[in-house]
Structure 1
Amino acid sequence: MLSSSTSGDADSIPQHSRDQFAPIPIPIPIPIPVRSLLPHSKLSLGCPVLSRLLSGGLPVGTLTEISGESATGKSQLCLQLLLSSLLPPCLGGLASSSLLILPSLLPFSSLLKRLSRLPSPLHPSPSPLDHIFVASAHSPDHLFMLLYQADRLFQSHKLRLVVVDSIAAIFRSEFDNNLGDLKTRTAMFFKVAAKLKEQAYRFGAVAVLTNQVVDVMGPEMAADVGNNHHTGPALLSSGRTVAPAMGLSWANCVNTRIFLSRNDEVAAVGVNGEDMTVCTRRRMEVVFAPHVPRSSCEFVIRKDGVFGLEIDRQ
């Protein structure tokens, strides 16, 4: 029969056995800066209504995608972001320079004219064009190289905004629709997205990309384009069901997805039923974001910029 031990036998317990029951020391927490506990700064969209839709704007240190079909206002909104970044933080800006990357510089002259017509947020000069850098990416590999070289701009010119317009145009021209190319494409845009996120986090910047959309022909195709898991209800534009291009893998790369849509409606009909006045209604929708719920509002594009009309209260 085993004998029961008493409290007086504690000294007889071997040292290695007592160590097994020794109290575990509680680690002392490492002090952290108070600034890290404050909300992250955001980049204003250049309009109070649109910025309010995103609870102040695009969060610093994140990657945002602006998707939509042609003529929905993606490039115009990007130009407005380039100007907003020049503003001081107290006015919703980043007080910084910015980098615009395009598939080709050939259409840049028209963008330059549109940018010069927008009201400058700085009064008086210098011109906002002095703080905007531009480059063309001919392929995904070239885009990655440009982003790698942009590290020097972040350090020397206080760069805090990178805009790629558009990511789908750069990738679509390089890969075919076969299994091998799709794997290579997926690995490449993982690298591009990771580089943009790393720059945004390290330099306190905002990374923005525009994306095209594809038509969704039926429920069986929704999984192929990889959007039902993220977006929930279908995205509609011009009376069609659409989804952002590049599939589910790419959707997992971005932190925030903004969808722009347009619908043409007949506003008035002439006496003879021939002359019609068509009104274009545009809508901005936050599909998913780390800091705000799904929401939307209508907006208009004027000569002086992009402006929201009202926010849907759901």
Structure 2
Amino acid sequence: MNDDDPEYDEETGLNLFLRLGAPWLVQKTGCPDVDTYLSGGVAKGKLTEFVGNIASGKTQLCLSLITNQLIDDEKEQKIVYIDTNGSFRSSRLLQMLKSRGIQDENIAKRMLERVFISRTYDEKDLRAVLSDIQVVQNLALVVIDSIGAALAFTAWGYFDGGRKVQDEIIAILRYMAHHGCAIVTTNHFVYWRGEPSPSLGKRWIKAVDFRYLLFKLSDSNCYMQIIAPKRHKAIDDKVFYKISKKGIDSLTNESHVVQTQYTEAVMTQNWNTIKQIYAQND
């Protein structure tokens, strides 16, 4: 190729439609601001991870995805929620459904019957559950909350069988994603050579297609920030949201938005400030 020739980036048809925000390829959260930031929602056929500190809204975001899927999906597809830390509450999911307009409790309970909950404690449990559900038909969404807790041993014993386990689990997740399922995981930060990084090491980090930082500001206000896939650094652009009875919700009061942005600017002038805050909370 001549040096003067233009350069082109390869792009699959799936990635093209995702970039254009094709509605049939995304799972929406129901929060307009966040869905816009996510280019329409969480991508089907991909692995998406939300990483952040405790109480940053990771579980609430996952429950919002489930709630919106239950309400909007005319095909009545199934959802699997793999709970590794005891954070799932069916009462909270019912509250979100009612807050989003499903007032008939019988209808809400029928919707909840499409959500299958599995409590897992380690990598063996997780591998067994994933092996079972990969053959489930009509599966729309799989949530693992949190992958960092379930696979903690694989990071500690990476060269003692941990990598093999990670490879097996990644292969199953990619298989399900390839068949049109949206895969969502939550994770936490660890420090490696003074830098914050999603837990579980490079193998897992590279396996995830889209990763977002969630950060709690004050009260119920939070923001989301893209983590660049190649450099694994947070990109400056952010979206602000709050946690309400609906789940994650847009900040509608303009002055509230301004105050939240001001608070965020003071707390996180740059990525180094974020690192210091996480270090203090470890």
Verify same fold: TM over 0.5: yes
2:172 counterpart SS class:
helix
Q: Deviations over 1:248-292 (max 9, x none)?
A: 22110100001101234xxxxxxxxxxxxxx564211121369xx
Distance 1:87 1:250, change over 3 A: same
**Which of residues 200, 207, 212 is equivalent to 2:188?**
212
1:85 counterpart SS class:
helix
Distance in structure 1 (CA, Å) of the matches to 2:164 and 2:67: 33
Structure 1 unaligned residues grouped into runs of 5+: 1-33, 223-241, 265-278
In structure 2, the partner of 1:221 is 194
1:1-314 alignment runs, 5 A limit: 39=22, 41-88=25-72, 95-103=76-84, 107-108=87-88, 111-120=89-98, 123=102, 125-127=107-109, 128-153=111-136, 155=137, 158-172=138-152, 174=153, 177=156, 180-181=159-160, 184-202=161-179, 204-215=180-191, 220-222=193-195, 242-264=196-218, 279=219, 281-288=221-228, 294=235, 295-309=237-251
Q: Whose helix fraction is larger, Structure 1's or Structure 2's?
A: 2
Deviation of residue 176 (structure 1)?
7.3
Distance in structure 2 (CA, Å) of the matches to 1:245 and 1:176: 8
- How large is the RMSD of aligned CA atoms in angstroms? 3.1
* Contact kept? 1:94, 1:160, Cα under 8 Å: no
TM-score of the two chains, using structure 1 as the length reference: 0.64
* Contact kept? 2:220, 2:243, Cα under 8 Å: no
Deviation of residue 177 (structure 1)?
3.5
Distance in structure 1 (CA, Å) of the matches to 2:97 and 2:217: 28
Distance in structure 1 (CA, Å) of the matches to 2:125 and 2:77: 25
Deviation of residue 190 (structure 1)?
2.3
Deviation of residue 179 (structure 1)?
6.1
* Contact kept? 2:214, 2:224, Cα under 8 Å: yes
Q: Deviations over 1:130-181 (max 9, x none)?
A: 110011223212212211110342x1xx221000000111122x35736633
Distance in structure 1 (CA, Å) of the matches to 2:147 and 2:208: 12
Deviation of residue 36 (structure 1)?
11
> 1:116 is aligned with what amino acid?
L
* Contact kept? 2:57, 2:216, Cα under 8 Å: no
Distance in structure 1 (CA, Å) of the matches to 2:77 and 2:202: 33
* Higher Cα radius of gyration: 1
Distance in structure 2 (CA, Å) of the matches to 1:250 and 1:48: 30
Would you identify which runs of 4 or more consecutive aligned residues in structure 1 move more than 4 Å?
34-40, 120-124
1:45 counterpart SS class:
coil
Distance 1:75 1:284, change over 3 A: same
Structure 2 unaligned residues grouped into runs of 5+: 1-12, 252-256, 262-282
Distance 1:177 1:148, change over 3 A: closer
* Contact kept? 2:46, 2:183, Cα under 8 Å: yes
> 2:174 is aligned with what amino acid?
K
> 1:288 is aligned with what amino acid?
A
> 1:169 is aligned with what amino acid?
A
Q: Deviations over 1:203-250 (max 9, x none)?
A: x1100000011246xxx433xxxxxxxxxxxxxxxxxxx432122221
Distance 1:94 1:286, change over 3 A: farther
Distance 1:192 1:138, change over 3 A: same
Distance in structure 1 (CA, Å) of the matches to 2:50 and 2:16: 29
* Contact kept? 1:300, 1:307, Cα under 8 Å: yes
